[in-house]
Chain A
């Protein structure tokens, strides 16, 4: 019995030192030395300031910016409280909020006549989805162009240039990074959009 207690404690402490001390320190050190940008959260810099992360969505509301998907993280895109809605397929709350989002999208983007892209009426899994589908960006082009006083073609070109295909041609789906697109839009307009 005493042998077992000793063996259990010694093995536990030694393995804990290896797995919880040496191992994460080694991985952190190597990651910080080899890939510091990615290891620190892929921050996006504008004018020497951190404008966000390449991987984390943001809550855009102005008419002159492209909007991301509905988010259930905190009050929306709370990057310290990731969460999905967890509403099920027969949830009245989900059905009603999808109807409300659809109505709002139709009102904000009256020029878009086609069916709405499903990602734009549904909350993402993390609440921090940095992407929308290409259609999700295209449906907002007319509104963004009007709000910024830019030609529609020019904004549409910008969206096209920001569509990323499946990774290695195989994995995942076509998508647009909303923060990247909006920053490019700001650069195009020569600074922040007015009147947002």
Chain B
């Protein structure tokens, strides 16, 4: 890594640390009904929604009612997206005249966008009409993020409230997140990105006559308005097939930096929303530091391996005269005849070269590695480099990031309520170790919470490992783009990404088939609601509990000791669950790469 790389990383964390606390406090204020300078403009819109739908935003609901409202609303949004996709051929705003996608692709895509996964079994510019992009998909980009913020706020209330029956009002949380958090950030953000060269037009394409006289059809579209919410909402769906690697979707390295910041912005700020709600900013900083530490470790590892590249690459770049040169040099020096080396084994290992396969020159190694870690730590899934072409261990970091549960900043809302799950496990384990009743910020953690947390932890692992194993012996092999251990990694990545609601892919895998569309859709649903609903239940039972005063005997949830414990629990749980699968994929592949084995 170069000094410039370290500087970019430091600047990234510095900006994030500076803007997150005020934004987190702002989110807490607006979601609790506080007024902001936006209210004169957007207040009437908010009231219009409540009046038209017959909603009383002041009524407070127990967790069951909150969950039922959430599920009903999600179902309505699913129908909207599924319907628009199924009938895009007869609906307007289809300048390219695209046909409707197959029912299983439409189902998969609707589930994918509803669950904030944004897994794409299709290439955007060759499949989706402008109406599908703008209505079916952009709508869910906003809504799935707003739902994430709402559930996060409900869980935060569960922790902060004492002897309360309710955990908030789903409708109010949803509408306020959309109007006062997402929209105000998207409008200026989209224009900032257009300023870097991102396209924003209702035209479909233009044709250029190149200097060599060929015609080049260049696809364009309403990209910036979708990209800003794709990043802010940790959605990650590409307007174009190449996603954030496409020059129109990520024109410059500065646009790249802005987009990475936008991915982490809300997940990072929500940590301080928790801090504000429980009036414990130090606790928020402790949790934030754990996230930042795991994130930095992942970035350094990925960048290291990508800078070292692959041995096949080093051989190709140096192949012209390296073997003969080194052979003659050593022969001349020692005065003995060097036997000719076998053709497959290089005489001396050529110097490592950076892995530029599947990367763009304007980003280079570091901005690509940093992006790969950001997008898999958060449940974003946008890519500015092709993860399928990462080095084995660089790819391992992205897989493990997702498998940890998308809690290193994580998805919008889902990152923090996922982290609360690990905090509960940590105080429980710490309580077992020292033999006292575990409590979290004055709330006793009892069997019910631990059971629910463990359920939320294990549910995503079930489809993730189960479908990977079934695919490996069943429907997987004929869909692979790469053979050998890398082929297994492609399957593992597909089900990791869907079960953890990330949406990025080892994109060589052919996933647009009924069996992949249905199994990944099932994984996405389990991964989203299998965590969300148990955590809402935890919020409900914590809200009702009478807090005990925090004394010297309470377990401290701030400071270095707790940070270390929490980090260990996250890494150990992740490693215990997924190391066997990882060793069959990227770890074996790394060893094979060292031995110059090709498949």
Contact in complex: A118, B362 (CB < 8 Å): no
Q: Which residues of B contact A79 (CB under 8 A)?
A: 216-219
- Return chain B residues, CB-CB under 8 Å to A146: none
Is there an interface contact between B388 and A81, defined as CB atoms closer than 8 Å? no
Q: A83 contacts B123, CB within 8 Å?
A: yes
By the criterion CB–CB under 8 Å, are A172 and B313 in contact? no
**Chain A positions within 8 Å of B68 at CB level:** 4
Residues of A within 8 A of B247 (CB): 53, 55-57, 126, 128-130
- Closest chain A CB from B595 CB (angstroms): 10
A185 to B316, CA, bound (A): 30
Asked whether, in the complex, the Cβ of B356 is within 8 Å of the Cβ of A65, the reply is: no
- Kindly list chain A residues whose C-beta atoms are within 8 Å of the C-beta of B390: 89
Considering the chains assembled together, what is the distance between the CA atoms of A96 and B145 in angstroms?
Answer: 44
Q: Which of B125, B212, B357, B384 contacts A87 (CB 8 A)?
A: B357
How far apart are the CA atoms of A38 and B72 in the complex, in Å? 41
How far apart sit A94 and B390, CA to CA, in the bound complex (Å)?
13
Q: Which residue from A85, A113, A136 sits with its C-beta under 8 Å from B358?
A: A85
Q: State how many residues of chain A have any CB contact under 8 Å with chain B.
A: 107
Is the Cβ of A61 less than 8 Å from the Cβ of B212? yes
Contact in complex: A23, B361 (CB < 8 Å): no
Is the pair A82, B241 in contact by a Cβ cutoff of 8 Å?
A: yes
Q: Is B450 an interface residue (CB 8 A)?
A: no
Q: How far is the CA of A32 from the CA of B201 in the complex (A)?
A: 7
Question: Cα distance A39–B384 when bound, in Å?
Answer: 20
* In the complex, A31 has a CB within 8 A of chain B: yes
| Min distance, Cβ A163 to any Cβ of chain B, angstroms | 12
Q: Is B205 on the interface with A (CB-CB < 8 A)?
A: yes
B200 touches A182 (CB 8 A): no
Minimum distance in angstroms from B175 CB to a CB of chain A: 7
CB of B18 closer than 8 Å to a CB of A: no
Tell me, in angstroms, the Cα distance from A196 to B214 when the chains sit together.
13
Contact with B along A65-92 (1 / 0, CB 8 A): 1000100010001011111111111111
Chain A residue with Cβ nearest B363: A172
B199 touches A7 (CB 8 A): no
Determine whether the beta carbon of B216 is less than 8 Å from that of A49: no
Interface centre among A18, A50, A102, A124 (most CB of B within 10 A): A124
Residues of chain A within 8 A of B112, CB atoms compared: none
A106 CB–B CB distance under 8 Å: yes
Taking the closest CB of chain B, its distance from the CB of A30, in whole angstroms, is: 6
A91 neighbours in B (Cβ, 8 Å): 482-483, 486, 598-599
Residues B205 and A80 in contact, CB atoms below 8 Å apart: yes
Which of A51, A65, A89, A166 is close to B208, meaning CB atoms less than 8 Å apart? A51
Contact residues in B for A34 (Cβ distance below 8 Å)? 191, 194
Task: Tell whether, in the assembled complex, residue B225 and residue A23 are in contact, meaning their CB atoms are under 8 Å apart.
Answer: yes
Across the interface, name the chain B residue whose C-beta is closest to A136. Answer: B361
Beta-carbon nearest neighbor of B125 in chain A: A80
Q: Are A60 and B212 in touch, CB under 8 angstroms?
A: yes
Contact B362 A90 (CB under 8 A): no
B200 nearest CB neighbor, chain A only: A31
Chain A: minimal CB distance from B599 (Å) = 6
Could you tell me if B211 and A173 are in contact, using CB atoms closer than 8 angstroms? no
Closest-CB distance, A43 to chain B (whole angstroms): 7
User: In A98-118, which residues have CB < 8 Å from any B CB?
Assistant: 98-99, 101-102, 106, 113, 115-118
Q: Is the CB of A173 within 8 A of B216?
A: no
Report yes or no: A166 in contact with B253, Cβ–Cβ below 8 A.
yes
Q: Which residues of A contact B592 (CB under 8 A)?
A: 90
B194 near A121 with CB under 8 A, answer no
Interface residues of A in 1-45 (CB under 8 A from B): 3-12, 14-16, 18-20, 23-24, 26-28, 30-32, 34-35, 38-44
Task: Determine which of B175, B205, B316 lies in contact with A101 in the assembled complex, contact meaning CB atoms within 8 Å.
Answer: B316
CB distance from B415 to the nearest CB of A (A): 22
Contacts of A117 in B (CB 8 A): 317
Contacting pair A15 B178 (CB below 8 A): yes
Q: Is the beta-carbon distance between B364 and A172 smaller than 8 angstroms?
A: yes
A86-B358 in contact given A4-B68, A172-B367 (Cβ < 8 Å): yes
B388 contacts A84, CB within 8 Å? yes
Instruction: Please determine whether A124 and B361 come into contact, CB atoms closer than 8 angstroms.
Output: yes
Which residues from B are CB-within-8-Å of A90?
Answer: 310, 312, 392, 482, 484-486, 589, 592-593, 597-599
B171 touches A7 (CB 8 A): yes
Q: Is there an interface contact between B355 and A131, defined as CB atoms closer than 8 Å?
A: no
* Chain A neighbourhood of B252, CB < 8 A: 167, 171-172
Given contact pairs A3-B54, A88-B388, A94 touches B218 in the complex (Cβ within 8 A): no
- Measured between beta carbons, the chain B residues less than 8 angstroms from A16 are 80, 135, 139
- The answer, yes or no, to whether B37 is at the interface (CB within 8 Å) is no
Q: Given the known inter-chain contacts A11-B49, A32-B200, A119-B356, please indicate yes or no for A87 contacting B361, CB distance below 8 A.
A: no
A141 at the binding interface (Cβ < 8 Å):
no
A7/B358 in contact, CB under 8 A: no
Instruction: Please report the C-alpha to C-alpha distance between residue A89 and residue B313 in the assembled complex, in whole angstroms.
Output: 9
CA distance A186 to B315 in the complex (A): 35
> Knowing A84-B242, A126-B360 touch, does A12 contact B134 (C-beta < 8 A)?
no
Cross-chain contact B212 with A98 (CB below 8 angstroms): no
Within 8 A of B (CB), among A163-194: 166-168, 170-173, 175, 179, 182-183, 186, 192
Contact A122 B481 (CB under 8 A): no
Contact of A125 with B360 in the complex, beta carbons under 8 Å:
yes
> Which A positions have Cβ atoms within 8 angstroms of B?
3-12, 14-16, 18-20, 23-24, 26-28, 30-32, 34-35, 38-44, 46, 49-62, 65, 69, 73, 77, 79-92, 94-95, 98-99, 101-102, 106, 113, 115-119, 121-133, 136, 166-168, 170-173, 175, 179, 182-183, 186, 192, 196
* A-B CB contact pairs (8 Å), 7 listed: A10-B52, A12-B73, A19-B138, A50-B208, A88-B486, A131-B362, A172-B252
Since A23-B183, A175-B362 are in contact, a sample of 19 more A-B pairs with Cβ atoms closer than 8 Å, ordered by chain A residue number, is A8-B72, A15-B175, A31-B190, A31-B194, A38-B195, A40-B199, A55-B251, A60-B210, A80-B126, A80-B218, A87-B389, A88-B389, A89-B310, A90-B310, A91-B486, A95-B312, A125-B245, A125-B358, A196-B212
Interface residues of B (CB under 8 A from A): 4, 7-8, 11, 45, 48-49, 52-55, 68-69, 72-73, 75-77, 80, 123, 125-126, 134-135, 138-139, 142-143, 171, 174-175, 178, 183, 186-187, 190-191, 194-203, 205-212, 214, 216-220, 222, 224-226, 240-242, 245-248, 251-254, 256-257, 309-310, 312-313, 315-321, 351, 353-364, 367-368, 383-386, 388-392, 481-486, 489-490, 506-508, 589, 592-593, 597-599
